[in-house]
């Protein structure tokens, strides 16, 4: 039995691998269905009686499917991946420059977290503000990628989203101390 249902040459593009459009806004249920269809074909158990080459290819395709799924399901990873596909590296390790207004908002949030660490209602209000900021940023990323095809702008927004996500985790931890 040969692993022919999945085209290994599509592995250079996770969207093509799953047969979905290359865009930021994706149909997550369709992605899940495509993943399950691929897993059904390439699962190593299905190829246990095949040649060593078939077994190895099945394992590689399973690993690829898992990596591709995790990348495309996560909005931040999906956005960074789309930027990379279009030749834009977000330089996450070296580029931490952010617009002044964004940095001011981050500082305000941090001060608010410190000042209201003992007030659950205030922390929950801050959480709602951070979640709205995340939604707004995701909408801007979607517009930058899917409409404007401005991957440089998307990379800038994605760097900001990483800051927002990191702060949201800290905020969640502070709220969890009340439970």
How far, in whole angstroms, is CA 176 from its chain's centroid? 24
119-144, pLDDT tens digit by residue?
Answer: 999 999 999 999 999 999 999 999 99
Task: Report the phi/psi class of residue 172: left, alpha or beta, with left for phi > 0 and alpha for psi in -120 to 50.
Answer: alpha
- pLDDT at residue 68, as a whole number: 96
Ordered structural domains, the chain, with CATH? 14-73 (1.10.287.110), 100-177 (1.20.1280.20)
Task: Classify burial at 78, counting beta carbons within 10 Å of its beta carbon; exposed 0-12, middle 13-18, buried 19 or more.
Answer: buried
How far, in whole angstroms, is CA 140 from its chain's centroid? 15
81-101 core/surface letters (b: 16 or more CB in 10 A; e: else): bbbeeeebebeeeeeeeeeee
Q: What is the pTM of this model?
A: 0.85
132-160 core/surface letters (b: 16 or more CB in 10 A; e: else): ebbeebbebbbbbbbeeeebebbbbbbbb
CB 43 within 8 A of CB 58: yes
112-121, pLDDT tens digit by residue?
Answer: 999 999 999 9
- pLDDT at residue 57, as a whole number: 86
């Amino acid at each position: 039995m040969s692993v022919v249902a999945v085209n290994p040459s599509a592995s250079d593009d996770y969207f093509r691998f799953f047969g979905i459009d290359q865009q930021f806004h994706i149909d997550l249920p369709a992605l899940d269905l495509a993943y399950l269809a691929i897993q059904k074909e390439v699962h190593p158990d299905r190829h246990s009686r095949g040649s060593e080459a078939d077994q190895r290819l099945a394992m590689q395709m399973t690993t690829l499917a898992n990596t591709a799924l995790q990348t495309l399901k996560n909005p931040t990873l999906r956005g960074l991946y789309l930027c990379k596909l279009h030749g834009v590296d977000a330089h996450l390790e070296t580029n931490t420059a952010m617009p002044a207004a964004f940095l001011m908002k981050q500082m305000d949030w941090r001060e608010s977290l410190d000042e209201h660490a003992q007030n659950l209602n205030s922390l929950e209000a801050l959480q709602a503000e951070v979640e709205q900021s995340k939604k707004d940023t995701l909408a801007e990323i979607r517009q930058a990628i899917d409409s404007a095809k401005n991957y440089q702008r998307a990379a800038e927004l994605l760097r900001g989203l990483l800051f927002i996500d990191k702060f949201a985790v800290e905020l969640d931890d502070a709220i969890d101390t009340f439970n």
